[in-house]
């Protein structure tokens, strides 16, 4: 099949677009507003964008009422947000925290989640989530789109602190992904989680390239000749 989004019909009962970029990790984003009200919501349009310094982004369409989402407003107004790892075990809480609720309702409480304090930023962390990044807001890219939801705010933040539960670090010092079972979004109302992994290393002997693949600034610095 072939179609041009917004111009020609796809002809399917459901739009296939979101099913084409899968699986998407979930940015389970906690923020706080200027009055101190906690907020939590999942964003599957989420990624790390670089590792040195570590930067992540989440992408928030406008609400069904055509308004900017609370996570965006809070991150911009306070300059901070936290990313929490969403897991299969926490899937119901992730789902509940996505409900479109009036500003000021605490999705932690709504989803029955306990809060943990962060160290460098004000937004709380999700207790039971095995990994969290404390982030300082960098900027927002706003792309206009079709109302009411099409316009999107892509929010970037620098990761300034990382919490990893010791229970999910294996005896080789690696994050134990199979133990965590990270949750991921697919298309439609479908999800998956990581229950298998395999290893591949880029061929050749560029230690710097491999350091980048691993995401290790220290090894990259050692492997890169001084100029």
Ligand X SMILES: Cc1cc2nc3c(=O)[nH]c(=O)nc-3n(C[C@H](O)[C@H](O)[C@H](O)COP(=O)(O)O)c2cc1C
Residue 45 binds to ligand X (criterion: CB under 6 A)? yes
What character string, x for contact with ligand X (CB under 6 A) and - otherwise, covers 133-162?
------------------------------
Distance of closest approach, residue 226 Cβ to ligand X, in angstroms:
42
What character string, x for contact with ligand X (CB under 6 A) and - otherwise, covers 67-86?
--xxx---------------
Residue 100 binds to ligand X (criterion: CB under 6 A)? yes
| 3-state secondary structure string across the chain | CCCCCCCCCCCCCCCCHHHCCCCEECEEEEEECCCCCEEEEEECCEEEEEECCEEEEEEEECCCCCCCCHHHHHHHHHCEEEEEECEHHHHHHHHHCCCCCCCCCCHHHHCCCCEECCCCCCCCEECCCCEEEEEEEEEEEEECCCCCCCCEEEEEEEEEEEEECHHHECCCCCECHHHHCEEEECCCCCEEECCCCCCCCCCCCCHHHHHHHHCCHHHHHHHCCCC
Residue 129 binds to ligand X (criterion: CB under 6 A)? no
What character string, x for contact with ligand X (CB under 6 A) and - otherwise, covers 163-192?
----------------------x-------
Residue 42 binds to ligand X (criterion: CB under 6 A)? yes
Among 30, 32, 38, 39, binds ligand X (CB under 6 A): 39
**Which residues of this protein are in contact with ligand X, per CB under 6 A?**
26, 39, 41-45, 59-61, 69-71, 94-95, 98, 100, 185
């Amino acid at each position: 099949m072939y179609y041009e989004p917004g111009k020609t019909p796809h002809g399917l009962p459901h739009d296939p677009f979101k099913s084409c970029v899968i699986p998407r990790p979930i940015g389970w984003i906690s923020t706080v507003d200027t009055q101190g009200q906690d907020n939590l919501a999942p964003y599957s349009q989420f990624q790390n964008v670089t590792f040195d310094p570590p930067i992540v982004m989440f992408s928030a369409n406008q609400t069904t009422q055509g308004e900017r989402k609370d996570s965006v407003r809070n991150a911009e107004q306070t300059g901070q947000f936290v990313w929490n790892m969403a897991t299969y075990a926490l899937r119901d809480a992730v789902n509940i925290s996505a409900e479109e609720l009036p500003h000021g309702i605490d999705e932690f409480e709504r989803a029955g989640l306990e809060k943990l304090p962060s160290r460098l930023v004000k937004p709380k962390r999700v207790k039971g989530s095995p990994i969290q990044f404390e982030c300082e807001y960098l900027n927002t890219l706003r792309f206009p789109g079709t109302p009411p939801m099409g316009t999107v705010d892509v929010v970037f933040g620098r990761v300034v602190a990382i919490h990893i539960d010791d229970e999910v670090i294996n005896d080789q010092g690696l994050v134990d992904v199979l133990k965590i079972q990270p949750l991921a979004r697919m298309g439609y109302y479908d999800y998956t989680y990581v229950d298998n992994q395999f290893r591949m290393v880029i061929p050749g002997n560029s230690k710097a390239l491999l350091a980048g693949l691993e995401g290790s600034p220290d090894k990259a610095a050692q492997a890169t000749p001084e100029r």
